[in-house]
């Protein structure tokens, strides 16, 4: 079927291209035009939890209240807030915001003395934002507030020693300004240097860009019909660019092999789709299954991530199998024709642009690089040698190729190579044992961000727990005595880890509310212990048989519930993904040991990636090098999501490498030769593909958002480990140690398993055998 699909797209090139362009333009127009962009919002609601019950009760009691999102404007004044000049400056600042931003209410520290710290040098104003707004809309309001406030701060009209910062999520955006560009430019350089051809570089990137644009349009449209977090677009772009370029790269590489075997462009395309295309399809399905496995977690915002990520991967697979054959038909034999002018102009353009973005923090050098590249092309009309196509060297004999000799080197020392590789992975995994789960907050952002500075000022003035107080929401039966309510408040206040308990406030729906400020920060282990102690010991003892039900809620309690929830379900999810992947690989390779090794080694590489993430983001090792804020715990949903993505991606390389080894084993019957030949045939393209993924994922580490930064680092490290230490050392070593037993399977099981062919029929192999 894939062969027929590839041939049809090759012969109907323009129709295929038009269909893709219409889909891309139409989807983007609908998403950003008719639908007005995305409706993304992150809501951490844990089923059957006290924090969710508390949130639902508050929303039912105050349906028309301001947004529950906390937002403040924080002030610091060494001379205090009784000073007339300071007071006048703050009044002018707040009046400008109330006047300029529709729907915003402000409670000034001069209206409520509790908004001023005991030291009298730090105060804050509470911003009442419109209710029912998405996080994206609240961020727009935050930008509007800053557009009004920043010029006043910069004008010099306020007291010189008055510090003003903006606090809360509305003043934090999820922008990743040049991250995708950095990844693409790095991919350009890697592909050009690896293959020496502008067209061989352009086809994978062009295919990936069309697929990425279409995938993002689909995610944006889906955000209007299901809950999707704000960072799903960044995660989708990260995964989509990586797999999109890789999938197209494997097919283009197989296409070039066909041309070198004297096939026609059409036959070479069909050969590529029917062999590498099968591996792409299987690898893509594996990634999608791994991502969709997150549905087992039973949380709506995880559903959005699963659908968004898998939709992007699905589009990339379809683009590689349909759009790419159409583009290959336009290129044909010219895919390896590159002039010196074209090659150097592209390298200069990409290098200058990368230098400008990474080291100068500006994208302006992209335009300069474009002008220099144009000058090189123009000069080529005067220098004849620049217009002469570069002659590609004939491939070296197989036994003289680096990767063949590398495989033989490992195969001669299988135990040494295996134990060394295993030892490195286990050492890198050690920090994983100290992983601590909790929701990160603005205190983990970089110090240059105003939300982080506001967070620190509030912690300094009102205590570490002020930035994430607990909310007690009591459901009170009619006739409950005031003595019972007082007893509840007093019991909580008596806990040594509690700093302040507000008086109980009656609310609609027979509710009573308390605000509890804990001694430690929202992320501290002591705070999680306090939440459990209140729920399990303090509150039950204080409530007795009164019939009152007290729910411990608030953002901090949501984080505790989230950590507990994921801790209970993550092993079920991991086990299900591992089992399904094992069964799929067993059906594909007709082996018991090959899929077992694949699962174990993927777990080891993921564990090593977890260890590095913990060392950097939780322990703070090298955090300054990536512009990270204060170290802190790992968000509860991140290990599960990293596992889903990394496990799926690592299976890509497993399938591409082992399918080629299996192809060679079926052709020769010699396991040692099949291992060396398979590694030699795929190592170069796997290395290039891995470097591209590392560049794409690593570019997102430069982003401002900690979650996306963590994902980028985790994925980049995992892919690097998997494509080098695992694929180039552990796989050939273990394949050599097990010999022909690699491909053994009981006859009864072979008859029962479905036939899944990812190798296809290779006419190139037929010629080599002949």
Of 9-23, 107-121, 618-632, 712-726, least confident by mean pLDDT is 618-632
What is the pLDDT confidence band of residue 573, given thresholds at 50, 70 and 90?
A: confident
C-alpha separations of 766 from 13, 28, 168 in Å: 28, 45, 65
What are the tokens at 284?
């893509």
Contact, 206 vs 668, CB < 8 A?
Answer: no
Residue 355: predicted pLDDT: 66
Sequence-distant (≥ 6) Cβ neighbours of residue 530 within 8 angstroms:
470, 495, 497, 498, 518, 520
Residue 115: predicted pLDDT: 92
Average pLDDT over residues 507-534: 92
What are the tokens at 360?
């100068």
Q: Which residue has the higher pLDDT, 74 or 402?
A: 74
For the cut 80, the answer to whether the pLDDT of residue 491 exceeds it is yes
For the cut 60, the answer to whether the pLDDT of residue 765 exceeds it is no
* Burial 204-240, CB ≥16 within 10 A → b, else e: bbbbbbbbbbbbbbbbbbbbeeebbbbbbbbbbbbbb
What are the tokens at 36?
């007005």
What are the tokens at 640?
């599960």
Contact, 647 vs 577, CB < 8 A?
Answer: yes
Contact, 758 vs 585, CB < 8 A?
Answer: no
For the cut 60, the answer to whether the pLDDT of residue 710 exceeds it is yes
For the cut 60, the answer to whether the pLDDT of residue 175 exceeds it is no
Residue 109: predicted pLDDT: 93
C-alpha separations of 562 from 299, 472, 505, 566, 635 in Å: 10, 18, 27, 6, 9
Hey, which residues does 505 pair with through a beta bridge?
A: 513
Residue 770: predicted pLDDT: 46
pLDDT digits (tens, 9 = 90+) for 246-256: 899 889 988 98
Residue 37: predicted pLDDT: 59
Identify the structural domains of the chain with CATH numbers, from first to last. 69-171 (3.30.70.1440), 425-446+567-770 (1.20.1640.10)
DSSP string, 388-441: SBPPPPPPPPGGGSHHHHHHHHHHHSHHHHHHHHHHHHHHHHGGGGG--B----
Q: Which residue has the higher pLDDT, 494 or 395?
A: 494
pLDDT digits (tens, 9 = 90+) for 741-756: 888 889 888 888 888 7
For the cut 90, the answer to whether the pLDDT of residue 660 exceeds it is no
Average pLDDT over residues 713-727: 89
Residue 363: predicted pLDDT: 56
Residue 360: predicted pLDDT: 58
What is the pLDDT confidence band of residue 390, given thresholds at 50, 70 and 90?
A: low
Residue 44: predicted pLDDT: 64
What is the rounded CA–CA span in Å between residue 587 and residue 590?
5
Residue 67: predicted pLDDT: 46
Average pLDDT over residues 534-561: 92
CB atoms within 10 A of CB 14: 10
What is the rounded CA–CA span in Å between residue 412 and residue 499?
66
C-alpha separations of 420 from 5, 413, 611, 701 in Å: 45, 11, 18, 30
For the cut 70, the answer to whether the pLDDT of residue 64 exceeds it is no
Residue 49: predicted pLDDT: 87
Average pLDDT over residues 161-175: 82
pLDDT digits (tens, 9 = 90+) for 331-340: 888 887 776 6
Residue 769: predicted pLDDT: 47
CB atoms within 10 A of CB 401: 18
What is the pLDDT confidence band of residue 659, given thresholds at 50, 70 and 90?
A: confident
What are the tokens at 403?
């990767």
The beta strand positions in 202-255, using DSSP E, are: none
What are the tokens at 704?
């401002």
Of 490, 447, 762, nearest to 629 by C-alpha is 447
* Percent of the chain clearing pLDDT 90 (strictly above): 33
Contact, 266 vs 7, CB < 8 A?
Answer: yes
Contact, 347 vs 189, CB < 8 A?
Answer: yes
Average pLDDT over residues 222-246: 82
The model's pTM is: 0.81
Contact, 24 vs 330, CB < 8 A?
Answer: no
Residue 34: predicted pLDDT: 56
What are the tokens at 298?
């039973």
Of 282-291, 344-353, 436-445, 673-682, least confident by mean pLDDT is 344-353
- Mean pLDDT over the full length of the chain: 84
Average pLDDT over residues 662-672: 82
Query: What one-character DSSP code corresponds to residue 361?
Result: S
């Amino acid at each position: 079927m894939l062969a027929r699909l590839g041939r049809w797209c090759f012969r109907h090139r323009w129709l295929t291209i038009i269909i893709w362009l219409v889909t891309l333009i139409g989807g983007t127009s609908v998403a950003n035009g008719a639908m007005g962009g995305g409706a993304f919002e992150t809501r951490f609601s844990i089923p059957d939890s006290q924090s969710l019950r508390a949130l639902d009760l508050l929303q039912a009691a105050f349906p028309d209240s301001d947004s529950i999102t906390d937002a403040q404007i924080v002030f610091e004044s060494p001379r205090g807030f009784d000073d007339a000049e300071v007071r006048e400056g703050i009044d002018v600042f707040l009046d400008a915001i109330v006047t300029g931003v529709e729907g915003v209410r402000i409670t000034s520290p001069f209206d409520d003395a509790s908004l001023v710290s005991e030291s009298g040098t730090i105060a804050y104003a509470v911003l009442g934002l419109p209710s029912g707004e998405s996080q994206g809309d609240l961020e727009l309001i935050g930008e509007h507030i800053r557009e009004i406030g920043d010029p006043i701060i910069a004008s010099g009209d306020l007291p010189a020693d008055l510090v003003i910062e903006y606090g809360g999520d509305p003043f934090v955006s999820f922008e990743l300004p040049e991250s995708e560009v950095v990844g693409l430019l790095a991919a350009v350089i890697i592909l050009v240097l690896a293959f020496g051809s502008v067209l061989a570089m352009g086809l994978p990137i062009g295919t990936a860009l069309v697929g990425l644009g279409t995938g993002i349009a689909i995610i944006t449209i889906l955000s209007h019909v299901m809950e999707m977090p704000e960072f799903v677009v960044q995660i989708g772009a990260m995964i989509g660019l990586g797999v999109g370029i890789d999938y197209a790269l494997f097919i283009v590489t197989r296409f070039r092999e066909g041309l070198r075997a004297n096939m026609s462009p059409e036959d070479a395309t069909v050969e590529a789709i029917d062999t590498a295309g099968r591996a792409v399809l299987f690898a893509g399905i594996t990634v999608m299954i791994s991502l969709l496995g997150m549905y087992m977690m039973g949380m709506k915002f995880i559903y959005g991530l699963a659908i968004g990520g898998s939709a992007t991967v699905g589009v990339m697979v379809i683009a590689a199998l349909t759009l790419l054959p159409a583009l290959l038909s336009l290129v044909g034999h010219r895919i390896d024709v590159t002039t010196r002018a074209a090659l150097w102009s592209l390298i200069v353009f990409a290098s200058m642009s990368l230098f400008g973005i990474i080291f100068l923090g500006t994208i302006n050098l992209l335009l300069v690089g474009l002008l220099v590249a144009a000058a090189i092309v123009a000069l080529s009309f005067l220098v004849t040698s620049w217009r002469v196509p570069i002659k590609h060297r004939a491939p070296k004999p197989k036994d003289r190729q680096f990767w063949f000799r590398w495989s033989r080197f490992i195969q001669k020392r299988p135990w040494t190579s295996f134990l060394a590789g295993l030892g490195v992975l286990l050492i890198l995994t050690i920090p994983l044992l100290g992983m601590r789960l909790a929701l990160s907050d603005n205190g983990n952002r970089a110090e240059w961000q105003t939300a982080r500075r506001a967070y620190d000022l509030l912690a300094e003035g009102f205590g570490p727990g002020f930035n994430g107080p607990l909310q007690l929401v009591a459901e009170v039966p009619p006739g409950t005595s005031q003595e019972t309510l007082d007893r509840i408040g007093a019991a909580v206040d008596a806990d040594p880890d509690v700093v302040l308990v507000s008086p109980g406030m009656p609310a609609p729906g027979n509710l009573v509310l308390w605000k509890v400020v804990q001694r430690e920060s929202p992320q501290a282990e002591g705070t999680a212990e306090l939440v459990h102690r209140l729920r399990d010991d303090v509150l039950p003892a204080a409530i007795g048989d009164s019939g009152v039900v007290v729910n411990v809620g608030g953002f901090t309690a949501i984080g505790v519930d989230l950590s507990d929830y994921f801790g209970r379900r993550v092993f079920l999810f991991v086990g299900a993904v591992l089992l399904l992947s094992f069964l799929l690989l067993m059906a594909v390779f007709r082996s018991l040991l090959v899929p077992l090794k694949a699962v174990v080694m993927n777990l080891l590489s993921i564990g090593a990636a977890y260890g590095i993430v913990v060392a950097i983001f939780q322990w703070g090792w090298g955090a300054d090098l990536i512009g990270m804020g204060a170290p802190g715990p790992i968000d509860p949903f991140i290990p599960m999501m990293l596992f889903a993505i990394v496990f799926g991606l690592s299976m890509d390389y497993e399938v591409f490498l082992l399918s080629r080894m299996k192809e060679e084993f079926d052709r020769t019957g010699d396991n040692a030769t099949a291992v060396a030949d398979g590694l030699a045939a795929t190592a170069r393209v796997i290395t290039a593909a891995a470097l591209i993924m590392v560049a794409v994922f690593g570019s997102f580490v430069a982003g401002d958002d900690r979650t996306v930064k963590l994902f980028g680092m985790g994925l980049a490290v995992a892919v690097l480990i998997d494509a080098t230490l695992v694929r180039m050392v552990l796989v050939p070593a273990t394949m050599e140690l097990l010999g022909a037993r690699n491909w053994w399977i009981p006859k009864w099981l072979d008859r029962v398993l479905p036939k899944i062919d990812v190798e296809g029929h290779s006419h190139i192999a037929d010629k080599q055998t002949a």
